[in-house]
Amino acid sequence: MFEISDKPITTEQVNKAVLGPGQGAIVNFVGVVRDHSRGQKVIELEYFAYKGMAEKKLRQIGDEIKKNWGLDAVAIVHRVGRLQIGDNAVVIAVASPHRAEAFEACKYAIDRIKQIVPIWKKEYGEGGAEWVEECHVQVGEAPQRS
């Protein structure tokens, strides 16, 4: 499951996509909309994505995790549209037989999303709206696991 969605996301729905009889651990990362950013109050956020390319890049991250850790039980869902404080913006689930690999791969996934997935964020605060640099799209090979 590698999706860009305009619907609310739950950890339960994402975890179902990775749960299997050989999995001993599921590690989640849940990015939640907070009420402040860069010293300013945030009222709400709006995410935009180039959906087709973003989903392709999310799948690429899953492929990189499979290559680097041997794990193929990965699911990533990122929300777009207007989100309120406390809403889930992104949910990542990585399942593995053992926890260490799942933790490493989950951290890799969120870091990699920030690097290559075409998603943009606009923050709405008391002073108005402001675009926030999120995606640092880079060309080239994925970093290898050390």
The stretch 30-36 carries a mean pLDDT of 94
The stretch 123-137 carries a mean pLDDT of 74
Ordered DSSP codes for 87-107: -EEEEEEEEESSHHHHHHHHH
pTM above 0.85, yes or no: yes
Q: Mind listing the pLDDT tens digit for each residue in 47-78?
A: 999 999 999 999 999 999 999 999 999 999 99
124: confidence class by pLDDT, cuts 50, 70, 90: very high
Which one has a higher pLDDT value, 100 or 144?
100
Rg (CA), the chain: 15
